[in-house]
Amino acid sequence: MKTILFDLDGTLIDSTEAILESFGVAYETFGHSAPDDEEIKKLIGHPLDLMFAMLGVAHLEVDFYVNAYKEHYRIISRKKTFLLPLGFEAIKEASKIATLGVVTTKTAQYSEELLEHMGVMKYFKVLIGRESVKNPKPHPEPILKALAYLNADPSRTWMIGDTPMDLICAKEAGVESIGVLCGYSTKSELVKHTSCVVHDAFDAVKIISKL
């Protein structure tokens, strides 16, 4: 049996509005203006604490910003997060040919709630989120943990993601990868880490179904 692991943001779902709004609230909470949207979007896919640090928040203050972000995100995420075009089709078709999992740097609890709200959590046998591991992507631990839970064969496993972190994680974990252009990275960034880049997750699933 094949195994397909999906990233979430930019791969299956669009939560850009919720993410940007929550960053704005976090900065406002502490009396600062948020960075430009494009600066934030370039970092989506990294863990929140690292994103704030990369945006210049002092190390000792990062946790406060993360907590402020999460408090707001929890309230608005369902209303302002959507499956990407053909996201549902990708999940449904993938479920016919493989065991499915999610490997994300989002909080697992919020990710599960979102996928339940969208009616697709039932398709996934495992969800590995930020709090599920010590070392998030691009470290291989998240994929290795998913493989262990599913008792999956790495040689018959694919990771589908929209950032270099997804693809590096896959390579380090010894699984195949497919990059998608429906998210936050460019083709030139993705081709450095995988031999296969397609438009979206549905295209990726169609390729895997033929292998």
User: Residue 196 has what pLDDT?
Assistant: 98
User: Residue 179 has what pLDDT?
Assistant: 98
Hey, which residues are catalytic here? 7, 9
Please tell me the distance from the alpha carbon of residue 149 to that of residue 210, in angstroms, as a whole number: 26
Per-residue pLDDT of 2-28, as tens digits, reads: 999 999 999 999 999 999 999 999 999
User: Residue 60 has what pLDDT?
Assistant: 97
CATH number at residue 39: 1.10.150.240
Cβ neighbors of 38 (< 8 A, separation 6 or more) are: none
Number of domains observed in the structure of the chain: 2
**Are 7 and 64 members of one domain?**
no
**Are 121 and 184 members of one domain?**
yes
**Are 107 and 170 members of one domain?**
yes
**Are 23 and 118 members of one domain?**
no
User: Residue 37 has what pLDDT?
Assistant: 97
Per-residue pLDDT of 164-204, as tens digits, reads: 999 999 999 999 999 999 999 999 999 999 999 999 999 99
**Are 119 and 176 members of one domain?**
yes
Domain stops at, among 40, 58, 76: 76
Domain stops at, among 55, 76, 97: 76
**Are 127 and 60 members of one domain?**
no
**Are 129 and 71 members of one domain?**
no
Mean pLDDT for the chain overall? 97
**Are 110 and 123 members of one domain?**
yes
CA nearest neighbour of 62 among 50, 46, 45? 50
User: Residue 3 has what pLDDT?
Assistant: 98
Per-residue pLDDT of 134-152, as tens digits, reads: 999 999 999 999 999 999 9
CATH number at residue 133: 3.40.50.1000
**Are 6 and 22 members of one domain?**
no
**Are 43 and 147 members of one domain?**
no
**Are 27 and 69 members of one domain?**
yes
**Are 34 and 65 members of one domain?**
yes
Per-residue pLDDT of 51-109, as tens digits, reads: 999 999 999 999 999 999 999 999 999 999 999 999 999 999 999 999 999 999 999 99
Domain extent, residue 52, equals 16-76
Please tell me the distance from the alpha carbon of residue 206 to that of residue 211, in angstroms, as a whole number: 9
User: Residue 120 has what pLDDT?
Assistant: 98
Domain stops at, among 58, 76, 94: 76
Please tell me the distance from the alpha carbon of residue 80 to that of residue 195, in angstroms, as a whole number: 33
